[in-house]
Each structure stands twice: as structure tokens, then as C-alpha cells.
Amino acid sequence: MPPDKDFYGVLGVPANATPEQIKRAYRKLAKKWHPDANPGDKSSAERFKEISEAHAVLSDPARRKQYDQLRRYGAFDGARTRPGAGGPGRGAGAGSPFEGFNPSDLGGLGGLGDLFSSIFGGRRRGPGGEGAERGESVETMVSIPFRVAALGGKVPISVPVTEACPSCGGSGAAPGSTLSTCAECRGSGTISFGYGGFAVKRPCPACRGRGKVAAQRCGTCQGVGEVRVERRLMINVPPGSDTGTQIRLRGHGPRGTGGAPAGDLLVGLQVEPDRFFRREGLDVHCTVPINVAQAMLGTKLKVRTLDGKHVVLRIPAGTQAGRKFRIRGQGIEKNAARGDQIVEVQVDVPAKLSPEQEAMIKSFADAAGLKY
Ligand SMILES: [Zn+2]
Ligand SMILES: [Zn+2]
């Protein structure tokens, strides 16, 4: 466990610090490490984030209590006061710091799961997660038109989110139903299982970790306390976005419970192909057809640009099929750099000739010394 997850250590206060001490320590450190006081310094910004995170947990009595329980439980090196700590269960090396316990088991316990991912550095659940993001975040994909990606703009998206049930306010109880202490866990919300010589706590399945059970379940959420709803959001797509660009929407991820802040929503962009343009770096490429007369005699072409306007491109006499012309500055603009538009001409050859046209082409070929 990285030492920065010792929230008391981060704030430099003892584990029995009073709320006043925590507030004072936080104010002092936040002032010192605030990004405004250290412009451009990434490590200061990182430090400031840790301090804010530590304060967010320790200043909230409910979250601090959960955190203290986790510490006692042995979630961290250096804070292991759990009885029997010398025994089994000390995870060897990099994995979980203790065996037989999966932080995601606590997911159903609302705030605890969030707190856990916060403590564990926001490890993504499931395979392939190597992320070092703080807080729980979820990812979603959205398709956007080529031109919006290139030029930037707003795109509406719709994301499924879990919200507290509006009927019961998250309690899972039917209106007017009485709540009684859960018999299974005697109101603690957790159940201990014997595990390798010491006890492991799990959220109580009977009350879903709430510690209380309702005489009658809420009809809207079937007692779960949560409902899935579609939330419509507008995302701001920065100019020059590409497939794989991610936009972070702070606080639009899974809701927090017990005062925990909501996680982030990471929106991955998938750029739809355009019928006319394709992108290479900051340049945009397009193909424009010309006829044989234009190719041989030269012409002026009106070519559409990314911004929907047109520029006039001069095609010189004797232009070969596949020749590329560069229109400077009409590409994608990103970070003060600007690409070009590359126009490739395609020469359309008439598919069918009338007898009269054929005779004329033959006489042209004879005059030019072309064999056919
Ligand atoms: Zn409900
Ligand atoms: Zn229970």
C-alpha cells in the first residue's frame, strides 16, 4: 500500500486528532501546495490532491469512521493493529494486502466501496485495470461526427446512472413501512466469516449492509434503494479530438452514498468516418474527381473545406490522376498548430463514347502519336 494512502500521515496528524486539528492541518497544507501557489508544478498538484482526498475522508465523521475501521482491519501496512496480524493473511508482494478479501465485495455497501477504491488508488475492477485514477470512475463510449471531432463542439450523450430511489429515498422501504434492526447482523450491516484464523467482514446479505430491514419493500426499487435512470448530458468536444480521446466528467460517475462524492464518468470518443474527409495527423485528405478535359487543359476547382466553406484550387494543364494539391492551413487546428488540406484528384474517364466522339479521340490519338 503506498504510504500516501495513510490519510493521517498525509495531513501529519495523529490518528486520534480532533476535527479542529484536522481542519488546521489541512488548511496549512492546502495553502502551501495549492496549484495556484505552485503554477505548473505537477508534483505539487498531486500532493494537493492527496491532501484534499485525506481531508475529504477525515473531515466527514461517517467516512472517517469507515476509514478507521478499514485501518484497524489491516488494509494498510503500518496501520495493522488487527489481532493476529502476525498470522496468515499478509499478502505477499504486490497483490491485495490481505488474502480472502476483495474490496469489490463491499460494493453493495454504498459508501464503503467508494471509500475502498479511493484508498486503493481507484483500481479498476476486472481484468486489465492498471489505472491509477483516484475515486471510482466508469467509462463509456460515444460516437461523434467527423467534423465535430475536428472542429470541436457540443454533443449530447445519454448515460445510464444509478440514483437513489425517488420513492423511498434510498432506504428500500415502502412509504410508511416500519424499519427494524436487522436480525442477521444485529444492525451492524456486516457479517463476520471465519477465514484462515481471523474474521472477514462482509456486507450483510439480509439488509444489504444497511443494518435495518423494512417490513414492506419499496415497490419502485423492489427494496434495493436504487434505480437506474438515463441521464442526458452535454459534452464539450475539444477541437482536434480523435478516436480514443477521453473526456472526464467529474462527479458524473456512480453516485456516492454516506456523503461520499460521486465518481467520474470517462467518455471515450469514437469518431465516425466522413464521406469526404479523412484525417492523417492534423492534415485532412479528400479526393476530388475531374474529367479528362480538365486534366489535360487545366481548370479551376471549387473545393469544400473543413469549415464548410470553399476555396478555389487551380489545376494546371496536364495534371495526372492521383496528383495531390496542398491547401495550406485548412486542416485541423490543435494546440496552436494547424494542418493542411490535401486534395487528390481522380480523373474520370468517360465510360461510353458515341461513334462521333470515338472518331474524334482516334484522330486526337493519331495527331499525338498515341498507340491504341
Ligand atoms: Zn425505493
Ligand atoms: Zn443485516
Are both 233 and 289 inside the same structural domain? Answer: no
> Is the residue at 257 inside a domain?
yes
**CA pair distance 231, 161, nearest whole angstrom:** 7
5 and 131 both lie in a single domain:
yes
Which-ligand-closest: CA of 169? 1
> Does one domain contain both 264 and 296?
no
Q: Is 240:226 a contact under the CB 8 Å cutoff?
A: no
Q: What is the CATH number of the domain that holds 46?
A: 1.10.287.110
308 is a domain residue: yes
272 C-alpha vs ligand 1 centroid, how far in Å?
40
Q: How far apart are CA 221 and CA 167, in angstroms?
A: 8
> Residue 103: pLDDT above 80?
no
Q: Which ligand is nearest to the CA of 181?
A: 2
The reply to whether 109 falls in a domain is: yes
- pTM attached to this predicted model: 0.50
pLDDT digits (tens, 9 = 90+) for 20-55: 999 999 888 888 888 777 777 778 888 888 888 888
Residues 254-310: tens digit of each pLDDT: 766 555 677 888 899 999 999 999 999 999 999 999 999 999 999 999 999 999 999
In whole angstroms, give the CA distance from residue 255 to residue 306: 40
Looking at 239, 272, 305, the residue that finishes a domain is 272
Together in a domain, 128 and 162: no
Judged against a pLDDT cut of 80, whether residue 108 lies above it is answered with no
In a domain, residue 214? The reply is no
How close is the Cα of 224 to the center of ligand 1, in Å?
7
User: DSSP for 4-61?
Assistant: GG-HHHHHT--TT--HHHHHHHHHHHHHHH-TTTSTT-HHHHHHHHHHHHHHHHHTSH
Residue 272: per-residue pLDDT: 94
Cell numbers for 283: 492534415
Q: Report residue 40 as a C-alpha cell.
A: 505548473
Boundary of a domain, candidates 135, 156, 180: 135
Q: Which of 36-40, 156-160, 279-283, 317-321 has the lowest mean pLDDT?
A: 36-40
Other beta carbons within 10 angstroms of residue 286's beta carbon come to: 18
In a domain, 189, yes or no: no
> 296 and 252, same structural domain?
no
How many angstroms is it from 341 CA to the middle of ligand 2? Answer: 65
Instruction: Report the share of the chain in percent with pLDDT over 70.
Output: 78
CB-CB neighbours of 203 under 10 Å: 21
Q: What percent of the chain has pLDDT over 90?
A: 35
What's the 247 CA to ligand 2 centre distance in angstroms?
Answer: 39
Name the residue with higher pLDDT: 70 or 114. Answer: 70
**Whether residue 363 is found in the same domain as residue 256:** no
More confidently predicted of 166 and 124: 166
Domain harbouring 238, CATH code: 2.60.260.20
User: What's the CA-to-centroid distance between 31 and ligand 1, angstroms?
Assistant: 43
Expressed in angstroms and rounded, the spacing between residue 200 Cα and the centre of ligand 2 is 15
| Ligand 2 centroid from CA 98, angstroms | 24
Q: What is the pLDDT of residues 224-257, one digit of tens each?
A: 888 888 888 899 999 999 999 999 988 887 766 5
Where helices occur in 83-180 by DSSP H, the ranges are 111-119, 146-151
Which domain does 350 fall in, by range? 278-368
φ, ψ of residue 349 in degrees (nearest 5): -95, 135
**Last residue of some domain: 272, 292, 310?**
272
HEC string of 262-304 equals CCEEEEEEEECCCCCCEEECCEEEEEEEEEHHHHHHCEEEEEE
Q: What is the mean pLDDT of the segment spanning 84-92?
A: 35
Ligand 1 centroid distance, CA of 310 (Å): 57
Residue 175 lies in a domain: no
Q: Output the DSSP codes for 191-208.
A: EEEEETTEEEEEE-TTTT
Number of domains in the chain: 3
Q: Which ligand is nearest to the CA of 167?
A: 1
Q: Which of 133-142, 208-217, 232-241 has the lowest mean pLDDT?
A: 133-142
